[in-house]
Amino acid sequence: MTPFGAKLRELRKKRGITLKEMAAGLGVSSAYLSALEHGKRGRPTWYMVQRIIAYFNVIWDEAEELQRLAEMSDPRVTIDTSGLTPEATEFSNMLANKIGGLSKQSLDHLLHHLRLVAARDGI
């Protein structure tokens, strides 16, 4: 499941909306919406995110969070390290090879640390 898919499911469950009801409200199939929630589809388009924001009638911070999560929810990531340091290539390859075996706790720790480093370095 992607970060966007998890948030989508959370919003839907909080409001007591079924997958089928939401799909009908958005004019998409239940299969598409289920695949979006489970990360079996690529990142949703900007237009689809806007439709979801309108469907849930969310504003400001929650709408921005949905947009941010959508941008970070491509389940098929490609990392181009050409022109970067050997360490960047090693890091990327090690992450690709090991990510499936990491615990949720380890992933949370690494993600938190990466966010801190990115904020410190202004990226």
- 85 has a pLDDT exceeding 90: yes
Cα(75)–Cα(47) distance, rounded to whole angstroms?
19
- What's the CATH class of domain 3-71? mainly alpha
- pTM (global) more than 0.85: no
Give the domain ranges of the chain: 3-71, 86-121
Burial status of residue 72 (CB atoms within 10 A of its CB: 0-12, 13-18, 19 or more): exposed
Q: Fill in the amino acid letter for 122.
A: G
Cβ–Cβ under 8 Å, residues 24 and 60: no
Q: pLDDT tens digits for 10-66?
A: 999 999 999 999 999 999 999 999 999 998 888 899 999 999 999 999 989 999 999
Q: What is the mean pLDDT of the chain?
A: 93
77 has pLDDT over 90: no
Residue 118 has pLDDT above 90, yes or no: yes
Q: What pLDDT does 26 receive?
A: 96
Q: What is d(CA 52, CA 33) in angstroms, rounded to the nearest whole number?
A: 11
